[in-house]
Amino acid sequence: MRVGSSADVRALARAISSVEEQRPAALDLLRAAFGRAGTATVIGLTGPPGSGKSSLVDRLVEGYRGEGCRVGVVAVDPSSAFSGGAILGDRIRMLRHAQDDDVFIRSMATRGHLGGLAQSTNDVVDLIDAARYDPILVETVGVGQDEIEVVRTADVVVVVLVPGMGDDIQAIKAGILEIADLFVINKSDLPGADKLEAELRTMLELGASPSRPRPAILRTVAVRGEGIDGLREAARAFLASAGRERRAERRRERAEARLRAVLSERVMRWVVEHVLDGEGWNGVVEQIASRQVDPYSAAEKLIERLEVR
């Protein structure tokens, strides 16, 4: 794919739509992209709603553009599960970067994503990567399990917090400790930034793992563009210090998650088609619904019929 023209941008957008809508051509597009992809640095950003992730991403895009990079952005919004079109993250950024063919922005909702949101995010990232955007920023709305899965295997995972979250930090701290490579305290001009940083440091100390470098804590005021250069620098430093080995490990994790997601979806389809026809499936479901058979025994009985060629 030639890069840089509006026509190419439209071609990429169409390719992503094909994949999202599971059109017949999607699989070939994904296979071709998979071979070409794998060079871009993927930066995952997650954090609670209201932490200013969108502004932060906007400023990061600006910064990377200043370095001459072509930048991809994927905004993932699992909360609009059934809407079939996430628009949340785009609102502001589109205005600023819409005319720039070297910035590619795409929102994703959950609808119809076989194999889960994390899997389809990886697919979309591959397509953007294959079109030679680098870095690619993957931003999530919220910090649920879905979102954690989406960013967990990025090359750098940035967790965005804001002062004044109160008890909320308690609810999310454990998940965050495990996935964050960098912490950003955004809106750090608000009261409570020092307190938040102190709490964070305590938590990191308690949850410290010898096998994992302690995440840096940075401060930004994204709406005014403050601290953004520092954040880009910290991401670069993390990647450099983490070294090739760590990056390879992260990519192995991502590969395994992808294989698992694709295989699980296909194997299930195969089992439903070959071990049971449609009628048989409904019959088993009826037996479970009427509590004649429990789902564990039903599953076991089906699996007993599998063989390897």
Q: Is 289 in the site for a second copy (CB under 8 A)?
A: yes
The residues, ordered by sequence, that sit 6+ positions from 146 with a Cβ below 8 Å of its Cβ are 78, 110, 116, 117, 118, 140
Q: Is 270 in the site for a second copy (CB under 8 A)?
A: yes
Task: List binders of a second copy among 240-259 (CB under 8 A).
Answer: 248, 251-252, 254-256, 258-259
Q: Which is nearer to a second copy, 87 or 237 (CB)?
A: 87
CA–CA gap between residue 179 and residue 185 (Å, rounded): 16
Q: Which is nearer to a second copy, 66 or 283 (CB)?
A: 283
Going from the C-alpha of 68 to that of each of 9, 103, 146, the distances in angstroms are 17, 11, 33
The residues, ordered by sequence, that sit 6+ positions from 7 with a Cβ below 8 Å of its Cβ are none
Task: List binders of a second copy among 129-168 (CB under 8 A).
Answer: 141-148
Q: Measured from the CB of residue 294, what is the shortest distance to a second copy in angstroms?
A: 4
Of positions 40, 165, 172, 196, contacts a second copy by CB under 8 A: 172
Q: Is 23 in the site for a second copy (CB under 8 A)?
A: no
Q: Is 89 in the site for a second copy (CB under 8 A)?
A: no
Helix (H) or strand (E) holding 184: strand 182-185
Q: Which is nearer to a second copy, 35 or 191 (CB)?
A: 35
Q: Is 288 in the site for a second copy (CB under 8 A)?
A: yes
Going from the C-alpha of 301 to that of each of 174, 290, 293, 294, 298, the distances in angstroms are 38, 18, 11, 11, 5
CA atoms within 13 A on the CB side of 64: 27
Of positions 95, 98, 198, 306, contacts a second copy by CB under 8 A: 306
CA–CA gap between residue 125 and residue 34 (Å, rounded): 10
Q: Measured from the CB of residue 174, what is the shortest distance to a second copy in angstroms?
A: 4
Q: Is 295 in the site for a second copy (CB under 8 A)?
A: yes
Which window, 80-88, 180-188, 194-202, 219-227, contacts a second copy (CB under 8 A)? 80-88
Task: List binders of a second copy among 25-44 (CB under 8 A).
Answer: 27, 30-31, 34-35, 37-38
What is the phi/psi pair of residue 136, to 5°? Answer: -115, 120
Q: Is 296 in the site for a second copy (CB under 8 A)?
A: yes
